[in-house]
Amino acid sequence: MQSIDSALVWFRRDLRDHDHAALSAALQAAGRVHCAFVFDTDILDALPSRRDRRVHFIRESLVELDTALRARGGGLIVRHGRASEEIPALAHELGVHTVFANRDYEPSAKYRDTLVARSLSEMGISFQGCKDQAIFECDEVLTQAGKAFSVFTPYKNAWLKRLTSADYARFDCSGVFAGSALAGVPSLTEIGFEATDLQEVGIQPGMSGARALWDEFRAGRIKRYGALRDFPAIKGVSYLSVHLRFGTIPIRELVRTALAEGADTWLNELIWRDFYFMILDRFPQVERNAFKPEYDAIRWENWPAGYAAWCAGRTGYPLVDAAMRQLNFSGWMHNRLRMVVASFLSKDLGIDWRLGEKYFADQLNDFDLSANNGGWQWAASSGCDAQPYFRIFNPITQSEKFDPEGKFIRRYVPELAAVPNKYIHAPWLMGRIEQEGLGVVIGRDYPGPIVDHAQARERTLARYAVVKKPD
pLDDT values of the chain reduced to their tens digit, one per residue, 471 residues: 445 799 999 999 999 999 999 999 999 999 999 999 999 999 999 999 999 999 999 999 999 999 999 999 999 999 999 999 999 999 999 999 999 999 999 999 999 999 999 999 999 999 999 999 999 998 999 999 999 999 999 999 999 999 999 999 999 999 999 876 688 999 999 999 999 999 999 999 999 999 999 999 999 899 999 999 999 999 999 999 999 999 999 999 999 999 999 999 999 999 999 999 999 999 999 999 999 999 999 999 999 999 999 999 999 999 999 999 999 999 999 999 999 999 999 999 999 999 999 999 999 999 999 999 999 999 999 999 878 888 999 999 999 999 999 999 999 999 999 999 999 999 999 999 999 999 999 999 999 999 999 999 999 999 999 886 543
Confirm whether 288 is domain-assigned: no
Asked whether 320 and 310 are in contact (CB, 8 A), the reply is yes
Q: How far is CA 128 from CA 16, 75, 113, 121, 169, in A?
A: 19, 21, 10, 11, 20
CATH number, residue 371? 1.10.579.10
Element (H, E) at 324: helix 318-330
186 in a domain, yes or no?
A: no
User: What is the chain's alpha carbon radius of gyration, rounded to the nearest angstrom?
Assistant: 24
Report d(CA 270, CA 280) in Å as an integer: 16
Residues 6+ apart with CB under 8 A from 74: 33, 34, 35, 177, 178, 179
191 lies in some domain? no
- Specify the pairing of strand 98-102 against strand 126-130: parallel
- Cα(388)–Cα(66) distance, integer angstroms: 48
What domain range is 33 assigned to?
A: 4-132
Q: Give the Cα-Cα-Cα angle 124, 130, 135 (nearest 5 degrees).
A: 170
Which residues participate in catalysis according to the annotation?
269, 272, 300, 335, 353, 376
Query: Is residue 84 situated within a structural domain?
Result: yes
- Residue 8, φ and ψ in degrees, nearest 5: -120, 130
Residue 197 lies in a domain: no
> What span, in angstroms and rounded, lies between the C-alpha atoms of 317 and 119?
53
Total domain count for the chain? 3
- Residue 311 belongs to a domain: yes
pTM: 0.95
pLDDT at 469: 57
| Total residue count of the chain as it appears in this document | 471
**pLDDT score recorded for residue 347:** 97
Listed residue (110, 114, 11, 147) closest to 69, CA to CA: 11
Q: What is the CATH number of the domain that holds 214?
A: 1.25.40.80
Same domain flag for 360 and 462: yes
